[in-house]
Amino acid sequence: MAGLGASAVKEEAVRVFRETWPGCEPSVAVAAPGRVNLIGEHTDYNQGLVLPVALPMVTVVVGCPSTDGIISILTMAKEADEPKRLVFPVPSEANPLSPGLPCWANYVKGVIQHYRAGPLPGFKAVMASNVPLGGGLSSSASLEVAMYTFLQQICPDDGDLMEKALTCQKAEHTFASMPCGIMDQFISVMGQADHALLIDCRSLEVSPVPLTDSSLVVLITNSNVRHTLTGSEYPTRRKQCMEAAKALGKESLRDVTMADLKAAKACLEAEVYCRARHVISEIKRTAEAAEALRCRNYWEFGKLMVQSHDSLRDDYEVSCRELDELVAAAMGVEGVYGSRMTGGGFGGCTVTLVDAAAVEKTIEQIKDKYSGTATFYTTKPSRGAHVLKL
């Protein structure tokens, strides 16, 4: 569905809904966006700063409530593991949901289990998405937030956005075993058209930064590789950050300055030191980048993006050959302000800030230089989760 727009994705979902449950009509349709992070990588779980943008790419849920106490969900995502359709009773205190197979359903079950308002009715729902799965553009958060938005329509809550983002994050922690930070769910809930959001992951304060200059393009390049390694890299990085903060007597790396870190170098393992150096420098870069964007100082912003990439590659060690190739290829083009890996790393996407006049040339250059096959998306900052007309 990658090539389809949001309304075509919804139409497809409606078609499959009717095919799956003949005689039934969906009464609700909602969408929640994926995201691209401009800068501030691996800082959210260190209570730092992030600067993401919500994408026009969305996960759509269409469905209707039922009176039989049964939840029946179906995903149209080809990449999702089998079975694509799952049927289970509405959870109760005596009969809660627990994670299991298929993996994809855990994101949805987690949201249903942690949803506070209720009691929930049964429902039938189809999920469809044009966010690439596992591409680092946060299809997982968009799925969680879309499901939550759907539940709000069939069983209204108090509408608290913070609670919504935190509940979706909790679903990912407890049901998908991914100890992620708050960025992905936050931006999917709160994204604003024409703005990046500077999110302070300690105070949870959100400051919109305008991004409307038509001479500026945010280009996303999907490496189309994903190195799974052992799967424990993310929790390991997270633990190392906690370890560094603890050794320095602080709650998180947000409270540690570069001077504090340098002074404690002898007490830290070399690897832990480098991990912390990335996080502390990245938080500072993110604050500076938001300011540069406000002042339309794109060269400064681009310079910070490249520093971010280098730090992720050398200190945090979450880049890979393919992402480094994509960044190098983009940076060789006149009119490119900056480029970096985005998302968790080990594959997925890069984000490039480029003058509109140089976009075509940049894509050509990357195609030419990249050893794999890349996919490109030029994107506009879009709004957060919302209800769609049927």
Length of the chain: 390
Instruction: From 138-146, 197-205, 352-360, 377-385, give the range in contact with ligand ADP by CB under 6 A.
Output: 138-146
φ/ψ of 191, rounded to 5, equals: -50, 150
107 vs 115 by CB, closer to ligand ADP: 107
Largest CA distance in the chain: 70
Q: 56 to 85, contacts with ligand ADP by CB under 6 A?
A: 59, 75, 77, 80
Question: Prior bond to 381 cis, omega within 30?
Answer: no
Residue 184 falls in the annotated catalytic set: yes
Contact call for residue 107 and ligand ADP (CB under 6 A): yes
Contact call for residue 136 and ligand ADP (CB under 6 A): yes
Among the listed residues 185, 215, 218, 221, the one whose alpha carbon sits nearest the alpha carbon of residue 201: 185
Q: Residue 390 corresponds to which tokens in the numbers above?
A: 């049927």
According to CB under 6 A, which one of 37, 49, 97, 104 is a site residue for ligand ADP?
104
> Judging by beta carbons within 10 Å of its beta carbon (0-12, 13-18, 19+), is residue 360 exposed, middle or buried?
exposed
* Catalytic member of 44, 184, 315, 355: 184
88 vs 243 by CB, closer to ligand ADP: 88
Contact call for residue 139 and ligand ADP (CB under 6 A): yes
91 vs 132 by CB, closer to Mg ion: 132
Among the listed residues 72, 129, 133, 132, the one whose alpha carbon sits nearest the alpha carbon of residue 103: 133
Smallest separation, CB 9 to ligand ADP (Å): 10
Chain centre distance of CA 20: 30
- Contacts with Mg ion by CB under 5 A lie at 138, 140
Q: Residue 172 corresponds to which tokens in the numbers above?
A: 């990912």
Smallest separation, CB 270 to ligand ADP (Å): 30
Contact call for residue 229 and ligand ADP (CB under 6 A): no
Q: 329 to 358, contacts with ligand ADP by CB under 6 A?
A: 343
Pick what 143 binds: Mg ion, ligand ADP, none; C-beta below 5 to 8 Å, kind-dependent: ligand ADP
Q: In angstroms, rounded to a whole number, what is the distance separating the alpha carbons of residues 59 and 263?
A: 47
Question: Prior bond to 210 cis, omega within 30?
Answer: no
Residues that bind ligand ADP in the complex, under the rule CB under 6 A: 59, 75, 77, 80, 103-104, 107, 127, 129, 133-140, 143, 343
Q: What is the set of active-site residues? A: 184
